[in-house]
Each structure stands twice: as structure tokens, then as C-alpha cells.
């Protein structure tokens, strides 16, 4: 009998409201970005978070990684509470062991830094100073994402968009996070390169048993990559479940609209 693994990350009733600017004799009207968002993801699972632009996907990602604070709710990673708004708990981003891969591989890498310095930056910030160890770790990470170790001595502008995104993934993984968040990580790439990066993420998941939160507006990419999915509309979860089941038999009109609007990736 297999005992289910405990969740790597659990979100409980996360909400986010941005307060409007106050005016004379009047309180500004707030804008609600997220309402009552709850989910969990286990080790080695890829959870897709899908919805149109403005639905709250990136706000949720920034709350999980610690770049924004929730207005209400809790985040629990394993046995550790990362956020509990009611109790005033907020673990700093650097202590969460959660890393993010960003959408644009051209602007997310410092063009003045060599690739080796870009990839090792997280370790150096954490206090690692042994140059030999840093070089070995960088070489291992570059090989993991399908790049030669010699890439460390070159600059980001010398690489294609897909290669730069591989560098971004190596940078995120080098600190051994328990959770990887990919925020529209293939939307800026050509379709053929998208497939290469998606397959790389699947390979990394299988090798490292890392949990992945994959954020996208493209239901076809979600179907190809993800084990589970939550569908966000206007900051609320309107549908969730196993990715194959949700996409093959959607119950909510919004999910049906997403499926009809986007071509699906074929194996």
C-alpha cells in the first residue's frame, strides 16, 4: 500500500486586495486581485495555473515566492508556515527555498555578467565563496539544463532565447529549491523551442522530484506539461483537478472558452 506524500506546498484561502489611493474626505477603492485561492502540490508534481491576462496568476506567484504579501490566508511548505496573515507570519523570500523562472529570457539575465556569475549568484548571496565549488556547481547545473560547462565563460547575449531560458532555469535550481515557479516561461519563445523547454522541465521534475508551479495562459501547454491544474478567472478558482480530466471534460464555461481559443500541443 502506497502512502500519499505530504504536500510540498499548501495554499489556504489566499486573498490579495490592492488598496486604492485615498482622496480628500474619501478612502480609495480597493482592487481585489485574488479571492479564496486554495490548492496543494506534492513532490514531483507539476501544477498548472491557467487563465487569461489579469486573472491573478502572476500576483499569486509573487505571493508564493515572497515578492508580495497576501491580504489574507496561509502558505505552508512541508512543516513550515511561510505566511499566516492572521498570525503576522511572513518568512522572507531568501528563506523559502522557492525559486522563479521568468517570462522574458532576454531581460531577466544581467547582460554585464558572465553566465557563470549569473548562475552562481544565489549561492554567492547565501555566502558561498569557494571558487572551485562554485565553478563545479555551475558546470553541473549547465549540464543539467543541456548546456556545455564552457558556457559559463560567455555572456547572455551570445545565446539564443531558448538557451537563455535554460540559463535562467539553471540559476533557479542551483540553490536546490523545493519548489520551482515558472511564470509564462515559454510564452516568449518559438513553438519548437517551447517544446524543448517543456521537455526539459519534465526531465528536471523526474530527476530532482521537485514540485513545479507552471503559470500560463495557454491551455495547450498546460495539457502537455501538467499533472494537475487550477483555472483562475477574475482572481478566483473556477475549476481544478487532474489536468487531463479538466481539459477533456471541463465543467465551467470559462475553462471551455480557454480550450476553444487555444490550439493544443500534440505529442
pLDDT score for 105? 80
pLDDT score for 263? 61
CB within 8 Å of 251: residues ≥ 6 apart: 239
Domain ranges, ordered by start, for the chain: 106-176
Cα–Cα distance for residue pair 165/104, rounded to 1 Å: 8
Contact (Cβ atoms closer than 8 angstroms) between residue 135 and residue 152: yes
CB within 8 Å of 201: residues ≥ 6 apart: 46, 169, 182, 185, 212, 214, 225
Contact (Cβ atoms closer than 8 angstroms) between residue 82 and residue 75: yes
The tens-digit pLDDT sequence of the chain (267 residues) is: 444 568 999 999 999 999 866 565 555 568 899 999 999 999 999 999 999 888 999 999 999 999 999 999 999 999 899 999 999 999 999 999 999 998 888 888 999 999 999 999 999 998 989 999 999 999 999 999 999 999 999 999 999 999 999 999 999 999 999 999 999 888 888 888 999 999 999 999 999 999 999 999 888 899 999 999 999 999 999 999 999 999 999 999 999 988 887 665 555
* Locus of grid cell 539564443: 160
Cα–Cα distance for residue pair 113/18, rounded to 1 Å: 35
Amino acid at each position: 500500500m502506497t502512502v500519499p506524500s505530504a504536500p510540498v506546498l499548501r495554499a489556504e484561502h489566499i486573498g490579495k486586495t490592492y488598496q486604492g489611493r485615498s482622496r480628500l474626505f474619501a478612502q480609495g477603492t480597493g482592487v481585489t486581485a485574488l479571492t479564496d485561492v486554495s490548492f496543494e502540490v506534492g513532490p514531483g508534481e507539476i501544477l498548472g495555473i491557467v487563465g487569461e491576462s489579469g486573472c491573478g496568476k502572476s500576483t499569486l506567484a509573487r505571493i508564493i515566492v515572497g515578492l508580495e504579501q497576501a491580504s489574507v490566508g496561509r502558505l505552508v511548505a512541508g512543516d513550515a508556515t511561510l505566511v499566516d496573515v492572521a498570525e503576522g507570519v511572513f518568512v522572507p523570500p531568501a528563506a523559502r527555498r522557492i525559486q522563479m523562472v521568468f517570462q522574458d529570457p532576454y531581460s531577466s539575465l544581467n547582460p554585464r555578467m558572465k553566465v557563470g556569475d549569473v548562475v552562481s549568484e544565489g549561492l554567492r548571496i547565501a555566502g558561498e565563496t569557494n571558487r572551485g565549488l562554485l565553478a563545479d556547481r555551475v558546470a553541473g547545473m549547465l549540464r543539467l539544463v543541456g548546456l556545455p560547462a564552457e558556457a559559463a565563460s560567455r555572456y547572455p547575449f551570445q545565446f539564443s532565447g531558448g538557451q537563455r531560458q535554460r540559463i535562467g532555469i539553471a540559476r533557479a535550481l542551483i540553490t536546490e529549491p523545493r519548489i520551482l515557479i515558472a511564470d509564462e516561461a515559454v510564452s516568449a519563445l518559438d513553438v519548437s523551442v517551447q517544446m524543448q523547454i517543456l521537455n526539459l522541465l519534465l526531465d528536471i521534475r523526474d530527476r530532482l522530484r521537485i514540485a513545479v508551479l507552471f503559470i500560463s495562459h495557454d491551455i495547450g501547454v498546460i495539457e502537455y506539461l501538467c499533472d494537475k491544474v487550477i483555472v483562475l478567472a477574475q482572481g478566483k478558482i473556477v475549476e481544478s483537478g487532474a489536468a487531463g480530466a479538466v481539459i477533456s471534460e471541463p465543467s465551467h464555461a470559462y475553462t471551455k472558452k480557454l480550450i476553444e481559443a487555444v490550439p493544443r500541443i500534440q505529442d
